[in-house]
């Protein structure tokens, strides 16, 4: 069953926002709700449906909701709050809080990632720490690793390798 983007956004937000551990002692990702500045994007790609952004800065690889999906969700929440009258005022407070949370990023420091590549029909991230993986992230009903196009992952991987070399050489 194919759902519209806004119908998918709610479960997507919940799943991507929970950076829980997956078979190792530490959480798989650090989550930033927009308060930390990581510098500008060096490179990014969007999932096939345009809802998830896989980004790269000089220091981190991250997953986030795309700007267009964030805008769409905020607009839906504002319209809903306007329609609800006094209940909308409460909804507006909730919308404001949720709206800020939409800017989250699940971040992975570059030095903790050994390799990024296209393998077996999906994005493959190999971490330095054994047992660490991305499998808790899902887009609709499939792992996030399957949500990106091959050519986008290959281009992202090339830029990741350049960023890793730059970081190991002591600067971007």
Q: Name the nearest CA neighbour of 160 among 133, 127, 135, 137.
A: 127
24 Cα distance to chain centroid: 20
pLDDT digits (tens, 9 = 90+) for 62-108: 988 888 887 887 777 777 766 665 555 555 555 555 666 677 788 89
More confident residue, 144 or 27: 144
CATH number reported for the structural domain that contains residue 98 in this entry: 2.30.29
Can you read off the two tokens belonging to residue 89? Answer: 């005022």
Owner of token pair 């290959």: 154
Strands 142-143 and 122-127: unpaired
Domain span holding position 88: 5-169
* Separation of alpha carbons 107 and 56, rounded Å: 9
Among the listed ranges 5-14, 35-44, 53-62, 118-127, which one has the minimum average pLDDT value?
A: 5-14
Contact 30, 151 (CB under 8 A): no
Counting runs of H as helices and runs of E as strands, what totals does the chain give?
Answer: 4, 9
pLDDT digits (tens, 9 = 90+) for 95-152: 555 666 677 788 899 999 999 999 999 999 999 998 887 766 666 677 778 899 999 9
pTM for this prediction:
0.73
């Amino acid at each position: 069953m194919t759902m519209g983007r806004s119908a998918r956004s709610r479960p997507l937000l919940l799943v991507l926002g929970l950076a829980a551990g997956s078979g190792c002692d530490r959480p798989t990702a650090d989550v930033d709700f927009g308060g930390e500045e990581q510098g500008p994007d060096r490179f990014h790609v969007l999932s096939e449906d345009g809802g998830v952004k896989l980004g790269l800065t000089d220091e981190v690889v991250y997953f986030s909701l795309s700007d267009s999906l964030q805008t769409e969700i905020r607009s839906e929440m504002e319209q809903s709050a306007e329609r609800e009258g006094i209940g909308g005022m409460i909804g507006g407070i909730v919308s404001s809080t949720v709206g800020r949370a939409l800017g989250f990023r699940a971040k992975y420091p570059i030095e903790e990632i050994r390799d990024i590549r296209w393998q077996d029909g999906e994005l493959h991230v190999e971490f330095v720490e054994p047992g660490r993986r991305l499998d808790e992230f899902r887009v609709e009903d499939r792992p996030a690793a399957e949500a990106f196009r091959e050519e986008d992952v290959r281009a992202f991987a090339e830029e990741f390798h350049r960023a890793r070399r730059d970081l190991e050489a002591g600067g971007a």
